[in-house]
Amino acid sequence: MNRTFDLVKTAYTLAQMQPCQEPQVALAGRSNVGKSSLINCLAGRKALAKVSSTPGKTQSVNYFRIEPGGYTLVDLPGYGYARRSQEERTRWGKLIERYLTGNPGLKAVAVLLDVRVSPQQNDLELVGWLRHQGIPILPVLTKCDKVNQRDQAARQREWRDLLGGAATPLCFSSVTRQGRDALWDALDHCAAQPESSQAAATPPIG
């Protein structure tokens, strides 16, 4: 299916963050998880999202309109990059928190996880917080071209168990396009869910 993938809004400050009733799916992950490459792969465009060798490139909340589908894919700033200043990291954290707590149209959060790295504390904290809030999680393992299938499967099982068996992470590679169609299908499915899907919260990861 051909999709249009258009940047419709960028928010750098809390004042620019406005609640939205339209369906939205957010992308969240650590600063070096490959989020910009994933966006460019989904869009089939090389420079829609800026890719940099320096983590923490995304410093704003970026809203991409997806058609067909009639929903917005929201790119959140990466977290956990210690080389950025404390002031910058605090500002990004406030943007992320405002977005996640102030959007009635939010249907799910795709949490991007580097397949090469064991579960990190900040990833576990985000996943636990989302589960506690009753926000559906779409786990996605990135950079899967860099490991073999056995290691992919082992990481999938590890995260599935941490998620209480609720979801098995998708495997994705922006290099080989592995999992691209499956991820689009999952994003479309999340965006189409009724609002009531967020009503029942699940316990956070301990």
Question: In angstroms, how far is CA 159 from the centroid of its own chain?
Answer: 15
Side-chain-side CA neighbours of 200 within 13 Å: the count stands at 1
Per-residue pLDDT for the chain (206 aa), expressed as one digit of tens each?
A: 788 889 999 988 888 887 788 999 999 999 889 999 999 999 998 867 765 444 444 578 899 999 999 999 999 988 875 455 555 556 657 788 888 887 889 999 999 999 999 999 999 999 999 999 899 999 999 999 999 999 999 999 999 999 998 889 999 999 999 999 999 999 999 999 886 444 333 333 33
Per domain, the residue ranges of the chain are 4-197
Strand order across the 170-171 sheet = 4-11, 61-67, 71-75, 24-29, 106-114, 137-142, 170-171
What is the fold of 4-197?
Rossmann fold (3.40.50)
DSSP for 135-147, written as a single string: --EEEEEE-GGGS
> Any long-range contacts for 67-70 (C-beta under 8 Å, 24+ apart)?
67/3, 67/4, 67/6, 68/1, 68/3, 69/3, 69/188, 69/191, 70/22, 70/23, 70/191
Q: How far apart are CA 113 and CA 121, in angstroms?
A: 12
d(CA 126, CA 79): 10
pTM above 0.75, yes or no: yes
Q: Report d(CA 139, CA 144) in Å as an integer.
A: 13
